[in-house]
Amino acid sequence: MNEVVMKEKPEVIIVYGDTNTTVAGALVGAKLKIPVAHVEAGIRQQPKDMPEEINRVVTDHISQYLFCPSELAVKNLEKENIREGVYFVGDVMYDLYLKMRPYFDYKMVEKLGLKGNEYILCTIHRDFNTDNPEKLKSILSGLSQIAHEIRVIFPMHPRTKKMINQFGLKFLLENVTIIEPVDYLNIMGLLEKCFMVITDSGGLQKEAYFAGKRALVVMPDT
């Protein structure tokens, strides 16, 4: 088993969001007795067994500094008896959005021949949507019906692609425009020009709000 070697012990470990690397970084800090700062602390969602929710809860409970994006996040932590080291700082995703907006890339918009407000941007990747064949089939059937009325642009997550192929559901997307996943600047370019968003992404639904776009959220709770 390899050991983590640090030339100099940091004063604090900063982790962001709710990914596996987030909770991994927090656990490293806890094991090495290094204070952990969690940016985007206090977010809570259903279902409670989704990987991201587990990562959030574990990270919050072993962090010493909890930077919350909303007052609701602060209240969520209070319900779990976490009151020390909690700060309401606002949403760094919005800070990023405002800073990077002048650099949003519209190359994909041009490449696909898209016109403003004439297409829907869609992302689907959550396990509770992709790993259930009946639910995934229902979502894809809905997208196919919508695509008869307005073009649907679907940057497909590797997880979603894998499950669609596994369940044999690719035929449902014949009239949906499937593209490879794109980077932040390009997805924001697609977002800025779209008519609306269909997503199960916590990040993209917030960014849709930042951009003044309606979002149909394919989640039981948000």
Per-residue model confidence as pLDDT tens digits over 119-152: 999 999 999 999 999 999 999 999 999 999 999 9
Q: Kindly report the length of the chain.
A: 222
38, 61, 125, 148: the active-site residue: 125
pLDDT of residue 47: 83
Residue 9, pLDDT > 90, answer: no
Least confident of 7-11, 28-32, 65-69: 7-11
3-state secondary structure of 104: coil
Q: Which domains does the chain have, with CATH numbers?
A: 13-90 (3.40.50.2000), 105-217 (3.40.50.2000)
What element of type H or E holds 206?
helix 202-210
pTM (predicted TM-score): 0.81
pLDDT of residue 6: 59
125 among known catalytic residues:
yes
CA dist., res. 219 & res. 84, Å (int): 31
pLDDT of residue 1: 39
Residue 3, pLDDT > 80, answer: no
CA dist., res. 218 & res. 151, Å (int): 19
